Amino acid sequence: MKRRFEDKVVLVTGAAGGIGLATARAFAAEGAKVMLADRDGIKLHVAEELIREEGGDAASVVVDVTDYGDCQRMVEAVVQRFNGLHIACNNAGVPSPIAPFEQQSLEQWRRVMDVNLNGVFHCMQAQVPALRKSAGTAIINTASVTSHLAAAGMAGYVASKHGVAGLTKATALDLIGYGIRVNAVAPGFIETPMLAPALEAEKGRSFFDARAPIGRIGKVEEVASCVLFLASAEASYVVGTILNVDGGMALT
């Protein structure tokens, strides 16, 4: 196996499961020192122990990305534990209830925007000072196929992920002068705990499989491999890109 991230320090939010955990495991397998961050302290501890059992160097910190002070403390914990920060993966996110627009509550709107968009902003603001202290650093945000497409009944989620794409592009211009490359992955339907209830419904899996031209939903490892590419020296000329990992959904 390649060791592209030997001695690099990587921070992954939303790392207790799904895409975040797969990403953290992949970085650790390639030699990175990984700080896992998530709201769920119990699942976070299990994830950290899993990576250690696999031979990785991992630590964890509980964080609420809607709290800017928490995000600052998260970065302080990374720097204190590993003496720096080279790569930040802002992956924490929540779904929004699917309902007609007029039935969506202000509370639901604020919740999904606070986590999915404001949370990325908070994390990036906290991460940049630490990233500026090293050369060849990178931020990879988790956007979505809904950063490009609309979906009925999902106004809050779609708006939040459009926002992540815009934030990624704007900050890519702001931060490249410091040597920080900012990009994002835009997953389609991926087999994650977030999607699990829908997949378990009658004909759920066949419905989602049919939505992608490739004919199936994606795996978390397929998204993680794209995150690692964007973080690597192989993507040294890639700036402000929203990389679709969606089996062709954005083409439909």
Burial class (CB within 10 angstroms; exposed 0-12, middle 13-18, buried 19+) of 101 = exposed
Q: For residue 26, what are its two tokens?
A: 């992949």
- The 10 Å CB-count burial string (b at 16+, else e) for 60-89 is bbbbbbbebebbbebbebbbebbebbbbbb
The CB density around residue 197, as the number of other CB atoms within 10 Å, is 10
From 68, 157, 178, 237, active-site residue? 157
Given its phi and psi angles, is residue 82 left (phi above 0), alpha (psi -120 to 50 degrees) or beta?
alpha
Q: How far apart are CA 228 and CA 183, in angstroms?
A: 11
The rounded radius of gyration (Å) of the Cα atoms in the chain is 17
Our answer to whether residue 157 is catalytic in this structure is: yes
Residues recognised as catalytic: 157
